[in-house]
Copies of this chain bind each other. A is one copy, B any other.
Amino acid sequence: METLSAVTESRSWPDGEVVEDLANLRQKVPLVHCLTNDVVNNFTANVLLAAGASPAMVVTIEEVEEFVRFAQALLINVGTITTSSAQAMLRAAAVAHETGTPWVLDPVAAGALKFRTGIVKELIGFQPTVIRGNASEILAVSGEAGNARGVDSTASSNEALDAAVGLASSIGTVVALSGEVDYVTDGTSIISIPGGHEIMTRVTGIGCTLGALIAAFLPVTPSPLRAATAASAVYAFAGEEAVKENRGTGSFAVAFLDLLSTIG
Contacts and interface: CB of A to CB of B under 8 A. Distances in A.
Interface of A: 31, 37-43, 45-46, 49-50, 54-63, 66-67, 70-71, 79-84, 86, 109, 112-116, 149-152, 201-205, 247-251, 253-262
Contacts of A86: 60
A149 B33 CA distance: 11
B42 A40 contact: yes
Nearest to A40: B42
Contacts of A112: 67, 70
Nearest to A45: B204
B113 A66 contact: yes
B84 A202 contact: no
Given A39-B41, A42-B204, A251-B258, A79 B50 contact: no
Contact of A61 (B40, B83, B257): B83
A41 B43 CA distance: 11
Contact of A50 (B63, B81, B250): B250
A104 to B, nearest CB: 18
A58 B70 contact: no
Contact of A54 (B82, B152, B249): B152
B56 A151 contact: yes
Contact of A255 (B66, B70, B80, B250): B250
A257 to B, nearest CB: 3
Contacts of A247: 258, 262
A123 to B, nearest CB: 16
A257 B262 contact: no
Contacts of A204: 42, 45-46, 49, 55
15 contacts: A31-B149, A31-B150, A38-B59, A42-B205, A45-B204, A46-B203, A54-B150, A55-B204, A56-B150, A57-B79, A60-B80, A60-B86, A70-B150, A248-B262, A250-B255
Given A45-B39, A46-B253, A203-B46, A60 B31 contact: no
